Homo-oligomer: A and B are copies of this chain.
Amino acid sequence: MKQRETRQLKATLAVLAAARDHLTAEQVYRRVRRHVPGVSLGTVYRNLDKLRAQGRVRVLQLAGGPARYDPTLHEHDHFVCEACGTVTDLDLPRARGAVRRLARAGFVVRTQTIALYGLCRACAAPPHGPRAAGAASHPGEA
C-alpha cells in the first residue's frame, strides 16, 4: 500500500516539471526514455495516473486528441490552437457567482475547466503560411 520512489516515477515527474508545454503521454514517454531507456509506455501511463490521483499533475482532456498532462497545479485555463495544436495557459476570471448559486442549489462543484479554441497569433497572421497541425511547433521530439 505504500508508494515507492522508482526511477520511472521520478523521471516522469521530472519530465513534467521541466516541461513548459502540455505534454501528451506519448511525449512524456519519449522524454522519460532518455533517462530510463527501458521504460514502457504502459508504465508511463500508470505513473501519470498515479500522479494525477495524488494531485501532483492535472489532466487536460481537449477536443479530439490525446490527454495532456499539466504540471501547473493552480486552477487556470487554456487556449488551444486548432491549426498547430499548441496549448497556451490563460488566467481568465472565474464565474464565482454562478458557482456559488449552483452550490446553494445542492451541487458540489469540484473543478472548473475553461478552454478557448481558435487560432494562435502565429497561425492567425502567417508570414509564410500557417504551421502544420501537431508537430510543427514542437520539433525534435524523438
Contacts and interface: CB of A to CB of B under 8 A. Distances in A.
Contacts of A112: 114-117
A64 to B, nearest CB: 6
Contacts of A110: 82, 117-119
Given A61-B62, A62-B61, A102-B79, A95 B114 contact: yes
A117 B113 contact: yes
Contacts of A67: 64
- State the number of copies, please: 2
12 contacts: A59-B63, A61-B61, A61-B62, A61-B64, A64-B67, A79-B109, A93-B95, A95-B114, A108-B124, A111-B116, A111-B117, A112-B117
Interface of A: 59, 61-64, 67, 79, 82, 90, 92-93, 95, 97-99, 102, 105-121, 124-125
Given A108-B118, A109-B116, 14 more contacts: A79-B109, A90-B98, A92-B98, A93-B95, A93-B98, A106-B125, A107-B119, A107-B120, A109-B117, A110-B117, A110-B118, A112-B116, A112-B117, A113-B117
